[in-house]
Amino acid sequence: KNQVEQSPQSLIILEGKNCTLQCNYTVSPFSNLRWYKQDTGRGPVSLTIMTFSENTKSNGRYTATLDADTKQSSLHITASQLSDSASYICVVSDGGSYIPTFGRGTSLIVHP
């Protein structure tokens, strides 16, 4: 069964600090891995999408890494801002059916 596990479940940091969110998956065959940011009561917004051959991809203060051998990904947020407070969701798509499997998300709270 395809699974996506995220850690930590929740995280509280001070404004300006960096943080790293983790995603482990068992989806096979692998198609792509995406990180989304979801504000409360809103639809998810894409941050990065990575395919098998990509190791690192950045989008502003967000940097995602992918290790396809160990089936792990991380999302690093640099110089956090109050607006970064949201749920961050890791989504891995099956290369056969293309159906995405969602992680439970990491709830990030940035305090001033």
Partner 1 sequence: GAVVSQHPSWVICKSGTSVKIECRSLDFQATTMFWYRQFPKQSLMLMATSNEGSKATYEQGVEKDKFLINHASLTLSTLTVTSAHPEDSSFYICSASADGNTEAFFGQGTRLTVV
Binding site for partner 1 (CB under 8 A): 31-32, 34, 36, 41-46, 49, 89, 93, 98-100, 102-105, 107
**Structure tokens given for 71:** 């089936």
CB 7 within 8 A of CB 104: no
Give the whole-angstrom CA distance, residue 48 versus residue 57: 7
Which of 89/110 has CB closer to partner 1? 89
Which of 19/89 has CB closer to partner 1? 89
Give the whole-angstrom CA distance, residue 97 versus residue 74: 24
Q: Residue 97 Cβ, how far from partner 1 at the closest point, in Å?
A: 8
Q: Residue 96 Cβ, how far from partner 1 at the closest point, in Å?
A: 10
Give the whole-angstrom CA distance, residue 7 versus residue 67: 16
Q: Residue 16 Cβ, how far from partner 1 at the closest point, in Å?
A: 27
